[in-house]
Amino acid sequence: MSNADTSATLVAAVSDLQEETVLTLVRRRLAAGDDPLLIMEACQEGMRQVGVRYERHEYYLAGLIMAGEIFSQVMELLRPVVECQISDRASGSILLGTVKGDIHDLGKNIVNMLLTCHHIAVHDLGVDVSPATFVQQAAQMQPHIVGLSGLLTSAYDAMRETVTMLRAQGYQVPIIIGGGQISAEVCQYVGADYWTTDGVAGVELCKRLIAASAVSGS
Ligand code: B12
């Protein structure tokens, strides 16, 4: 089977919530030496499809919970492989969290893992983090970057509030927002500096921003 075929099969298995099939396919692809980030991408697409099926009332909350559990298990399989594949060093720090009212954390946890692999210090505040907590922790940690995660439409207001509060307190560090439904329009509404729907691209951005701050001495 070609890579494209196995990816399509994996996307479908995640979308169909076929736990055993997903885990078997992931183990098989890892054993064949496939890139763990490509495997993760396929699973993320499957999760997006689960969301679509939830919207169509084909799945209910239990389906979302099941999808979350499957994805967590996939990440447990991928984590050790990702960790030993990345060897570069980028010193810097990021304050990360899922914003107030939102408890989605699978994407945030991936970003945490990838950043940690690149030796960027991650201070992860968890989920449902209030704007005041972000501000308080930014004061303590003085991070190079603040990263806000959110998947719910209602999270955009919490993101906006967080950005406004950080700026009002004088923090001029780059703020990145991430999550499956984020767009340029959302970024503009929130007042963040950067946005992404892709963890790998987000981590590359963090590395560039940290390198630039080292050059400018900020
Ligand atoms: C799994 C899931 C859940 C699980 C989450 C488990 C967990 N531990 O996270 C559970 C069951 C808890 C859940 C609950 C709910 N969910 Co939900 N959920 C999903 C689902 C199917 C997948 C999300 C996911 O994990 N994707 C995989 C990850 C890897 O992708 P990701 O988060 O986008 O992250 C990537 C990037 O975005 C990026 N990234 C993410 N954050 C950041 C941050 C930074 C700084 C950077 C650089 C990058 C970055 O990196 C990641 C890797 O590439 C989505 C569907 C979808 N389209 O997203 C719905 C979805 C997000 N949920 C939805 C809803 C409605 C709910 C509930 C309200 C349902 C309910 N009736 O209770 C609750 C809300 C609870 C709350 N208060 O937060 C809706 C939101 C609709 C909306 N517009 O607001 C969605 C879109 C489904 C849908 N299409 O209707 N959900």
Give the model's pLDDT for residue 83.
78
- Strands 194-196, 145-149: pairing kind: unpaired
Give the model's pLDDT for residue 90.
64
- Strands 93-98, 121-124: pairing kind: parallel
- Strand blocks (E) in 58-144: 93-98, 121-124
Q: What is the pLDDT of residues 49-60, one digit of tens each?
A: 999 999 999 999
- What is the value of pTM for the model shown? 0.94
Give the side-chain half-sphere CA count within 13 A for 68.
Answer: 13
Give the model's pLDDT for residue 88.
66
Return d(Cα 134, Cα 162) in angstroms, integer: 7
Sheet strands side by side (includes 93-98): 121-124, 93-98, 145-149, 175-178, 194-196
Give the model's pLDDT for residue 16.
98
Return d(Cα 91, Cα 89) in angstroms, integer: 6
Using 70 as the pLDDT threshold, list the residues of the chain that sit under it: 1-5, 84, 86-90, 216-218
Instruction: Give φ, ψ of 146 to 5 degrees.
Output: -115, 130
Closest ligand 1 atom to 206 CA: 47
Give the model's pLDDT for residue 85.
74
- Strand blocks (E) in 18-117: 93-98
197 Cβ below 6 A of ligand 1: yes
Element (H, E) at 195: strand 194-196
Q: Which of 39, 41, 64, 65 to mutate to test the pocket of ligand 1 (most atoms within 8 A of CB)?
A: 64
Contact 17, 46 (CB under 8 A): no
48 Cβ below 6 A of ligand 1: yes
97 Cβ below 6 A of ligand 1: no
Return d(Cα 155, Cα 15) in angstroms, integer: 25
Give the model's pLDDT for residue 71.
95
Q: Which residues contact 198 (CB under 8 A, 6 or more apart)?
A: none
